[in-house]
């Protein structure tokens, strides 16, 4: 598809991490248009269903022109059937980290691409293991404040990396956007990396 005929890409997110990740694969959105939805899980909602619903609802919430495609994503952390969203305060962040300390948890990232009346959805699962976290190390981590605004209370590319010796799956999905799956979805509607120096 010629560059001029490809849809305009709208990133339905205010996350600087997702914008940076797209840039890593040579994708520059034409606009940022964060979706504002209620992210409260339904009673008894399973983590996989929740994260899929969030990505879809974000994609459906945005008004699009005929020549636009919107990419939305949602990331959540689950321990068993418990959903660990963004902690509301330091105490909740500490609760989340203690829950994950010394065990494995699952990071679920769903991506939704809406274009021309169709929405494509992918769910990527990554297993993450945290080593046992000593109380003093946890207090220091909480003092740093890197837990704020992060699903599960941590960012794998931040200070919590010191607690994570092993992952199985997609590192970029844990950061917030599974790049291989995202590139495939975008290519399916004619959006490809733009070589440096060439206008999209």
> What is the dihedral angle through the alpha carbons of 108, 113, 118, 121, rounded to the nearest 10 degrees?
-20
The token pair at 89 is: 């305060």
Q: Is 74 a catalytic residue?
A: yes
CB-based contact 78:108 (threshold 8 Å): yes
Spot the catalytic one: 38, 74, 89, 146. Answer: 74
Residue in the block written with tokens 């209370």:
153
DSSP one-letter code for 116? T
Contacts of 158 (CB under 8 A, 6+ apart): 146, 150
DSSP one-letter code for 157? T
* Active-site residue set: 74
């Amino acid at each position: 598809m010629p560059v001029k005929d490809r849809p305009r890409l709208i990133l339905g997110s205010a996350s600087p991490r997702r914008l940076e990740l797209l840039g890593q694969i040579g994708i520059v959105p034409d606009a940022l248009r964060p979706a504002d939805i209620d992210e409260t899980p339904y009673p008894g909602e399973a983590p996989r269903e929740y994260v899929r619903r969030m990505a879809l609802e974000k994609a459906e919430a945005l008004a699009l022109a005929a020549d636009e495609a919107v990419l939305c994503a949602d990331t959540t952390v689950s321990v068993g059937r418990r959903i660990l969203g963004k902690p509301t305060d330091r105490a909740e962040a500490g609760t989340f980290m203690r829950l994950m300390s010394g065990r494995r948890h699952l990071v679920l990232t769903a991506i939704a691409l809406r274009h021309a009346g169709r929405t494509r959805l992918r769910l990527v699962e990554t297993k993450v293991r945290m080593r046992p976290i000593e109380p003093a190390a946890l207090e220091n981590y909480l003092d740093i404040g890197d837990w704020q605004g992060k699903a599960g209370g941590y960012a794998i590319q931040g200070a919590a990396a010191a607690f994570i010796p092993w992952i199985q799956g997609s590192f970029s999905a844990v950061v917030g956007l599974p790049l291989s799956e995202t590139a495939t979805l975008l290519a399916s509607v004619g959006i490809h990396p733009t070589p440096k120096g060439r206008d999209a």
